[in-house]
Structure 1
Amino acid sequence: MENRKLRMGMVGGGSDAFIGAIHRCGAFMDNQIELVCGCFSVKPEISRSSGLSYYLPEERIYSSYQEMFEHEMTLPEGERMDFVTIVTPNRWHFEPAMMALERGFHVVVDKPMTFSLEEAKLLQKKVEETGLILALTHVYTGYPAVKDMKARIAAGELGKIRRVYVEYCQGWLSERIELLGGNNAGWRTDPKQSGKAGCVGDIGTHAWHLSEYVLGQKVTELCGDLTAFVPNRPIDDDGTAFLKYDNGAKGVLVSSQICAGEENNFRIRVYGEKGGLEWKQEEPNSLYAMWINKPKEIYRVGNGGYMGDIAKYNSRTPGGHPEGFIESFANIYRNFAATVRAFKKGEKPAEETLDFPTVYDGVRGMQFIETMVEAGYNDTQKWQKWID
């Protein structure tokens, strides 16, 4: 592979969208990636105006993702895109991802990976057939303090893990703002666009994934409850689950978008035989450690010696400068880009660059949603084996 930036295309992410700009900021942060083409909206006029505002040539701004993939395939290898980022409502994740893989393009896709578990398994099969790379943007795994938390648990600092609490509370859907328009609530509360789950698919999947990521363990059973608290909302806006992990640890998961007054209160607490660790998304540079026989400690990102090598590798600024949401996207994109470069050169990627969510996390995410829906509307609240 020649010495150049990786070329990125986008499906979704127009000027009228929220998450597309976040993805672009993260992708561009390390100067490894450039945007070369895109279909930025289902509305051709918005796709065109968005592409022009991103300073793309008109011939690389497309009216449909099908047109984009077909035309990009006709370009010389030195010009066509290397990968596509998909930032659309859940309903439209699978088809462009599958089409990209079938045509030899790597993929980055927002979570949840697909609309259904069946689609997720088809993507997994295609990734395995092609050997191409699919990254899933479970962004909270990109925070340096989260990576330090994972490393400390893996090193046995807490001893055998017993208890996990993971909570993701927002308040923005406390009223039916989806009826007002002009916001992201419309498709997120529409089962035809979001899939079977609302809140638990949108933010509950983040909570589940973060717990498995930092523990290095998998959920094997859950007992769940789903509710649509806001009258006439057709999909859940609140969910709770008891979790069992494969090493015997037990957990409690709370995901809610009707916690009035909350902004983005995401935190995780893990307790073992020797002590506990806590991380809060709204205070991302601190990792709190609680011990049986000594005072509480605070480890801070960006201050030498307090955090391990993996946290330092994923840190960008000196102490006191918050390493936040966009930087976490950047960590996923940087590791994805390094892995794609190794793929193109026929080399084995460095271990630290493989630290990003993949198609397998995407399949498990859809399994979590399916299992929660199966369990969550069951009035007897029975334990459900993990659906596979």
Structure 2
Amino acid sequence: MALNPPLNRKLRMGLVGGGPGSFIGPVHGIAAEFDHRCTLTAGVFSSDPERSKKAAPSYGVDESRTYGNYEAMLDAEARLPDDERVDFISIATPNHTHYEIAKAAVEAGFNVVCDKPITLDLAQAESLLKTIENSDVVFALTHNYTGYPMIRQAREMIQAGELGKINAIRCQYIQGWLAGTSEDDGGQLSAWRTDPAKSGAAGTFGDIATHAFQLGRYVTGELPESVSCHLKTFVPGRRLDDYGTAVIRYQDGAIGVLTASQVTHGRENDLELEVDGTLASLKWRQESPNELVVRRAGQPHQIYTRSPGTGTMTPLAEASSRLPAGHPEGFYDAFANLYNAVFDDITLRASGAAFERRDTVYPNVYDGVEGMLFIQQCVASSEQDAAWMPLNYAEARQ
């Protein structure tokens, strides 16, 4: 089979971020190249031009395609012939830089894959949305947990009505890496995440609760109505929350409970989703991602496993699997599944074909705006003693 038909070539990637000490930048690079549909061609790997040049060899990027800042990259790449310039820009930088980089890339005509949250605040997200809607680019947001096969299995089972009407959504995202860590320790990853100027109005809720909220939305399709939230900062001197709990009302009557922590000792990356329906309930946990538990009253519990070729998987989940049953797939695979869906649309755009912009397999700009509204309303609710705040976008913006 040809590669990215009808282009019949690899897509070319430009990466912003991913320099020394970065976690998510290298993940983007690996995930994008995972299925050999793309090659990392150009990059700005640090805000320091010298550090950017030093990082380039580790990505296999030639010095001639390594730039000192994103403006220089966009300008130089736009001047290259069609058969040389990058096809898309991936943004793996701190939150406060997302808006300016993404907006400039879209205005220059480049497709964009942006790390979450989409921007620093809701106003920036709304501005970026208008820019994207006035363009023809593909835009994706890397809520990468949506790429797990068993998450996609859960989504398709719910869409098929197997759980009945959705009653409740419970999601928790529990980490411990910020417990006992202060910003004075000088850690690169912790410093900007707990700085309001770089992270935004929320700390833990902006960093990981957005993943939990979006995962519940992705799997169930339930539309949020309002939220009551309580945020807490346990580490003395920290300027942003490191723990929080939210109760969410959904428009069809379902209720959600979301807890996020980065100060729970001994917890690593424990993202867990449970959904209750009138016919059944399900549970998925990121630390054992190849299993999905489904329970029905009066029946033995069912454990669905990532087992392609057995007839037990839904079509999207099957298509999202690479290895035979029993060979674990994980974080990189899920991230690569997101990129694969984005590549399909980038290829459609490049070949002049139409592509879907709102109802996509991957999270898009509309999910990004909704996520920023969620953060804003959670912070506002917490500041007003957990008062209920609208999450319905039209109502919230009145």
1:21 counterpart = 2:20? no
Native 8 Å contact 2:183 2:238 kept in 1: no
1:10 counterpart residue number:
15
2:49 counterpart residue number:
44
1:222 counterpart = 2:205? no
1:89 counterpart residue number:
94
2:178 counterpart residue number:
173
Question: Root-mean-square deviation (CA), in Å?
Answer: 1.5
Cα drift, residue 322 of structure 1: 1.8
Cα distance per residue 1:241-290 (max 9 Å; x no partner): 00011211001000111111111111010011111000000000000011
1:270 counterpart residue number:
275
Cα drift, residue 385 of structure 1: 1.1
What is the distance in 1 between the residues matched to 2:168 and 2:229?
17
Native 8 Å contact 1:339 1:354 kept in 2: no
What is the distance in 2 between the residues matched to 1:222 and 1:384?
5
Q: From 300, 318, 321, give the equivalent of 1:315.
A: 321
Cα drift, residue 308 of structure 1: 1.0
Q: From 321, 332, 339, give the equivalent of 1:333.
A: 339
Cα drift, residue 314 of structure 1: 0.5
1:108-123 correspondence to structure 2 within 5 Å: 108-123=113-128
Cα drift, residue 349 of structure 1: 4.5
1:343 counterpart residue number:
349
User: Which one-letter code corresponds to 1:319 in the other structure?
Assistant: A
1:363 counterpart residue number:
369
Native 8 Å contact 2:226 2:249 kept in 1: yes
Q: How many aligned residue pairs are there?
A: 386
What is the distance in 1 between the residues matched to 2:104 and 2:20?
24
Cα drift, residue 348 of structure 1: 3.8
User: Which one-letter code corresponds to 2:69 in the other structure?
Assistant: S
Q: Percent identity?
A: 43
2:213 counterpart residue number:
208
1:199 counterpart residue number:
204
Cα drift, residue 55 of structure 1: 2.6
1:125-144 correspondence to structure 2 within 5 Å: 125-144=130-149
2:64 counterpart residue number:
59
Cα drift, residue 321 of structure 1: 1.7
Cα distance per residue 1:205-250 (max 9 Å; x no partner): 0010001111111211010000101111110001100001121100
What is the distance in 2 between the residues matched to 1:230 and 1:377?
18
What residue ranges of structure 2 are gaps of 5+ in the alignment?
1-5
- TM-score normalised according to structure 2 size: 0.94
- TM-score normalised according to structure 1 size: 0.97
What is the distance in 2 between the residues matched to 1:117 and 1:233?
23
Cα drift, residue 129 of structure 1: 0.5
Q: From 376, 380, 390, give the equivalent of 1:374.
A: 380
Is the partner of 2:96 in helix, strand or coil? helix
- Greater shift, 304-313 or 135-144, is seen at 304-313
1:246-265 correspondence to structure 2 within 5 Å: 246-265=251-270
What is the distance in 2 between the residues matched to 1:15 and 1:172?
19
Is the partner of 2:52 in helix, strand or coil? helix
Cα drift, residue 177 of structure 1: 4.1
What is the distance in 1 between the residues matched to 2:237 and 2:62?
45
What is the distance in 2 between the residues matched to 1:233 and 1:20?
26
Is the partner of 2:333 in helix, strand or coil? helix
Cα distance per residue 1:19-69 (max 9 Å; x no partner): 111111110011111111111101111100111332322221111111111
Cα drift, residue 183 of structure 1: 4.0
Native 8 Å contact 2:146 2:334 kept in 1: yes
What is the distance in 1 between the residues matched to 2:27 and 2:313?
27
Cα drift, residue 179 of structure 1: 2.2
What is the distance in 1 between the residues matched to 2:319 and 2:184?
44
2:312 counterpart residue number:
306
1:107 counterpart = 2:112? yes
2:241 counterpart residue number:
236
2:3 counterpart residue number:
none
User: Which one-letter code corresponds to 1:185 in the other structure?
Assistant: S
Is the partner of 1:184 in helix, strand or coil? helix
Greater than 3 Å deviation, 4+ residue runs: 348-351
Native 8 Å contact 1:176 1:233 kept in 2: no
Q: From 77, 87, 92, give the equivalent of 2:82.
A: 77
User: Which one-letter code corresponds to 1:374 in the other structure?
Assistant: A
